[in-house]
Amino acid sequence: MAEEVILRFDNLTFGYAEKKPILDEVGFGIHKNAKITLMGQNGAGKSTIFKLIKGELKPTKGNVFITNNATIATASQVIGREDLNLTLAQYFSKAFTPVPGNIKSQINKVMIAVNLTVPLDRKVGELSGGQQARILLAFALIQNPDILLLDEPTNNLDKDGIDHLIQFLVMYEKTVLVISHDADFLNCFTEGVIYLDVFTKKVETYVGDYYSVVEEIQNRIEREIKKNAQLEKEILDNKEKVNFFAHKGGKMRKLASKLKEEVQEMEENKVEVRREDKTIREFSIPAQGIVGDIVTIKSVKIIKNHEPVVKEVEIVLRQKDRLLISGPNGIGKSTLLRNLVNKESEGATILENTRVGYYSQDFATLDYEQTVFDSLQSVLADGLDIQQMRAIAAGFLITGELMGLKISHLSEGQKGLLSFARLVSMKPGLLILDEPTNHINFRHIQIIAQAINNFEGAIILISHMPDFVKEIKFNQELDLGRF
């Protein structure tokens, strides 16, 4: 008996602007209980597909069919700013109308599923990034959906969190669609891939784990390039013959006409080779050149059993020093950085007049009501003009059409690239980077790691991406989990 298709896109076209489709006559089906990855370049329409599935957007043409009114829930990338002042109990209550009498029991059940223990009277905004990532998944699970949509679910999760999520998804007996840039994570449970091509606006479906699909796509690209190269050679040879025989008489002219038709046929047979993402340009972050003890840390506050505990340490950072801060979710890593930047830490100080380049995992340094242009201009270091600022932005794929937009209109990935453009523009003496690879396309990460590694000032970094961390040469580490 054939497996039941729970979700189907039928000849669907969608565009935010008339005559500019993001998806063009797209068709695919997803079987019940399948675990599928949505893969594609930035702007290919992955998040748009999620919105079409949820009914938040309507197709320009074609249809989305959901079998037997299957229910849908999404674990989003980030918690909305309007929800940060809610307690956990209030936040989970938003999933229901009306709120059931056994809400606390249901909350406890999904908190166990995501391996998180936090008092329900804690405010959402007081949780660490990793804890918030688990709450986003729990919020989706409490709705008991038939179709679970996950958008970058490993962002901010530590290794234990990612391992638990993988185990959960392997055992989860419902349909799951995932958007993620974490290849190792995807390969553990993916059964197939839907690939969106940003240039053709079409989709291709593949069966198999993530790595085998990526290899299949790469092999196909190589075959297409080879086929086109062979056709190009034949086309060039035939064109030369056409030019030669066309000036002859009789049969030679007929042969030229026949060869011309063959050239046209070969041109039509050329394959449109998939063009991959644009990557950001290689860049450097100019340093302020400040001399002295840039950062001094004498004590840190960690969270043990939901209570703060102060521990003494001895850390001094000068130019070219790099400090890696590690430890499990919820122990206080991001809070340490935030208090340091805001000068609210009793045990850590930054040398006066140090220009601090702070990359916050929740983009707290960005004013969402500002335009991109104004945000860049507000941090522009002395000696840089508007033309240079625009050139820096272009290197991060922030071009003229984005400059006038409010930051609130950018995707999470674009906010990340804007944050790096700001760091380059401000010439900091100290970089404080909290999960700087979240939301960033994997094609950019090697370039970003190289720029950070070459920075001449001091660096403090938190990251749960081992492949990124190993590209940067650290001379100090502070493991908050060892206390």
The predicted-structure confidence for 282-291, as pLDDT tens digits, reads as follows: 999 999 988 8
pLDDT (average), residues 356-366: 92
Alpha carbons 238 and 230: distance in angstroms, whole number:
12
Residue with tokens 């960033």: 440
Contact at 8 Å (CB) between 428 and 288? Answer: yes
**Predicted pLDDT at 257:** 73
Range of weakest confidence among 179-183, 379-383, 430-434, 456-460:
179-183
pLDDT at 305: 78
For position 129, what pLDDT does the model report? 83
User: What pLDDT does 1 receive?
Assistant: 44
- DSSP, res 282: P
Q: Is the peptide bond before 98 cis (omega within 30 degrees of 0)?
A: yes
pLDDT at 174 > cutoff 60: yes
pLDDT of residue 275: 55
Give me the pLDDT at residue 272, please: 59
What is the spatial order of strands in the sheet that 147-151 belongs to?
A: 72-75, 147-151, 175-179, 35-40, 192-196, 203-207
- The more confidently predicted of residues 8 and 464 is 8
CA–CA distance, 10 with 438 (Å, rounded to integer)? 33
E strands, 76-162, are 147-151
Angle between helices 386-395 and 412-426 in degrees, nearest 10: 140
Q: How confident is the model at residue 212, as a pLDDT? A: 85
Q: What's the Cα-to-Cα distance from 400 to each of 369, 379, 397, rounded to whole Å?
A: 18, 19, 10
Whether the pLDDT of residue 274 is over 60: the answer is no
**Hey, do 5-214 and 295-482 end up sharing a CATH topology, with the first three levels equal?**
yes
Decide the pairing of beta strands 458-462 and 322-326. Answer: parallel
Please name the amino acid found at residue 223. R
Q: For 41, how many CA atoms within 13 A lie in the half-sphere containing its CB?
A: 16
- At 229, the pLDDT band (50, 70, 90 cuts) reads confident
Highest mean pLDDT: which range of 267-281, 380-394, 432-446: 380-394
Closest CA to 66 of 5, 24, 13, 14: 5
- Taking alpha carbons only, the member of 203, 211, 204, 219 closest to residue 186 is 211
Interval 280-337: pLDDT, tens:
899 999 999 888 999 999 999 988 877 888 999 999 999 999 999 998 888 889 889 9
State the pTM of this model: 0.72
* CATH match for 5-214 among 3.30.530.20, 3.40.50.300, 3.40.50.1100, 3.90.1170.40: 3.40.50.300
Domain 295-482 has CATH 3.40.50.300: yes
Is the pLDDT at 276 greater than 60? The verdict is no
Q: Residue ranges per domain, the chain? A: 5-214, 215-269, 295-482
Segment 144-167 shows an average pLDDT of 87
Find, among 358, 371, 445, 381, the residue nearest to 407 by Cα.
371
> For 385, what's the count of Cα atoms within 13 Å in the CB-facing half-sphere?
1
Candidates 300, 223, 214, 286; CA nearest to 454 is 286
Chain centroid to CA 420: how far?
14
* Most confident listed range (142-146, 253-257, 411-415): 142-146
Nearest to 79 by CA among 144, 125, 112, 145: 125
